[in-house]
Amino acid sequence: MSPGAGYAFFEQNLIKTVYEKDSWTIDRRYSVGRKLCTSTDRHPGHWQPGNLATAQIKFEELLDYSKNMKALPGGGIVAQIGINKSLAIRTGVNFLQHGVVLKATETGEIDTKVKLENNLNYLQVPVNVLFRAPLPGITLYVGGGGFFNYGISGKSKYTVTYTVPGGDDIVESEKVDAFKKEQDGGAGLKKTDYGISALAGIQFGKLFANVGYQLSLANIAEAEVGEYKNRGLQLTIGAFF
């Protein structure tokens, strides 16, 4: 559901769950350069960072369920500050999506299937320290740091299918605002999220590509409900201007 988004777990089954010229850089003669370079960075695809999103979810009342990741696009602007040839700081502002799909089945006199799908949209500010290894024609880098997310919109949709004797299906479905409080008809997820990240990549001239992983430390579920923490594996392809 950041994958995460509301907790609408059905009461009987699930409960209601509802890159690289540097920004500040040293030039080839090692005189101080003052050129701030930014790049448009979109998740997956050309100029897109792609987020393969999921979530860590724990609920006492939750039935056994299967969990599927969601591949989601995003975009952003990146700025990089070169400390020296081997060290840089990368930050920016990104539009990032999280989400997850949960499915559960309970058999009995009436078979019940429950599906919960969350889509969460965030503005993100990451800060990562990069360790660089310049090679002929390319630069390799690895690094890590942290991030802060703020939820700007999101939906939580759950669908319950009852199969009654005779084979007929009765389907009930509802979509709610993921970041609205439960008492107001929403899923009750918190808008603020933060965590740690790691990435590794390669740069060819002005073009760069990297893979990264983000691990949220914040529980965006209401405390009395359970635990919901976003996870994401990302692929980014972009260019520095």
Fold of the CATH domain 38-239: Porin (2.40.160)
The answer to whether the beta carbons of residues 76 and 92 sit under 8 Å apart is yes
pLDDT of residue 28: 26
pLDDT of residue 105: 84
228: CB partners within 8 A, 6+ apart: 1, 4, 7, 55, 56, 57, 189, 219, 220, 221
Burial classification of residue 173, based on how many CB atoms lie within 10 Å of its CB (0-12 exposed, 13-18 middle, 19 or more buried): exposed
pLDDT of residue 241: 77
pLDDT of residue 34: 27
All structural domains of the chain with their residue ranges: 38-239
Nearest C-alpha neighbor of 82 from the set 142, 36, 147: 36
Identify the residue whose tokens are 């009395």. 224
The pTM score is 0.74
Mean pLDDT per segment of 10 residues, for the chain of length 241 residues? 32 29 28 29 38 63 69 85 92 89 83 89 95 95 97 93 84 93 89 96 91 93 79 86 77
pLDDT of residue 65: 72
Q: What is the pLDDT of residues 212-235, one digit of tens each?
A: 999 999 999 876 667 889 999 888
pLDDT of residue 46: 34
pLDDT of residue 50: 61
Q: 113 is written with which tokens?
A: 């299937």
